[in-house]
Amino acid sequence: INAEYGDFRIHTMRMLLLLVLLPLTMANMYDILMPNYLPPPGCDKCASWAGKDPSIWASGKRPVDASNSCAMPAALINGTRTVEASFSGAWCYCESTGVAGTCVAPLLRPEQINLQLASPSVVVASFVTYEDTPPGSSSPLANLTSFDGTSKLVSGVSHLYQDVANKRNYTMHFVRLSEFCLLYTSPSPRDS
């Protein structure tokens, strides 16, 4: 019984510590520039960020390479459903009207690329692409190349999501990469 009581006390102390420290945690967003995105529909060119209030950026000043790129200025991201809060993604002010609008993602360009360790010998690569129309029957492909130069094509699966509110389709792609060994050494031999 004493061992069970000790485990309970440890668990209780951990929970209490978590409740005390949780309010002290912060997760700050960083500024994101999307230079490959296109201006919002009905807008020929995004306005320069140079004349805009610098407090919209995380650092309090405009990134030097912002130019007139579509962006997601971090200081404006506040959970509201507005263009300026980056609710629908990257945005800009239209040069001709000064109105903020959600930029258009380039078609068929992989974004949000993630690698997830599924097991000691399996990694799942996932990414998103935007399309005008649903993708055909083709599958995403990954090319695995070993140190000796041999390569292998691996196919995956895709799932379409229709974002009716923003009038766009995007496809989530997943490729299961297996039959290889993940090695970790510390320090890495490549560090020298």
pLDDT, residue 88, reads: 81
d(CA 154, CA 174): 11
pLDDT, residue 143, reads: 87
pLDDT, residue 192, reads: 53
Place of tokens 């140190």: 147
pLDDT, residue 5, reads: 56
Instruction: Write a three-state SS string for the chain.
Output: CHHHHHHHHHHHHHHHHHHHHHHHCCCCCCCEEECCCECCCCCCCECCHHHCCHHHCCCCCCCCCCCCCEEECHHHCCCCCCCCCCCCCCEEEECCCCCEEECECCCCCCEEEEEEEEECCEEEEEEEEEECCCCCCCCCEEEEECCCCCEEEEECEEEEEEECCCCEEEEEEEEEECCCCCCCCCCCHHHC
One digit per residue, pLDDT tens: the chain, 192 residues?
Answer: 455 656 777 778 788 877 777 676 666 778 999 999 999 999 999 999 998 999 999 989 999 999 999 999 998 888 788 888 888 889 999 999 999 999 998 988 888 899 998 887 888 999 999 887 777 777 888 888 877 888 889 999 998 888 777 677 889 999 998 866 555 555 555 555
Backbone angles phi, psi at 175, to 5 degrees: -130, 125
> Using CA atoms in the order 170, 129, 178, 154, what is the torsion angle rounded to 10 degrees?
110
pLDDT digits (tens, 9 = 90+) for 68-112: 999 999 988 887 888 888 888 899 999 999 999 999 989 888 888
pLDDT, residue 182, reads: 52
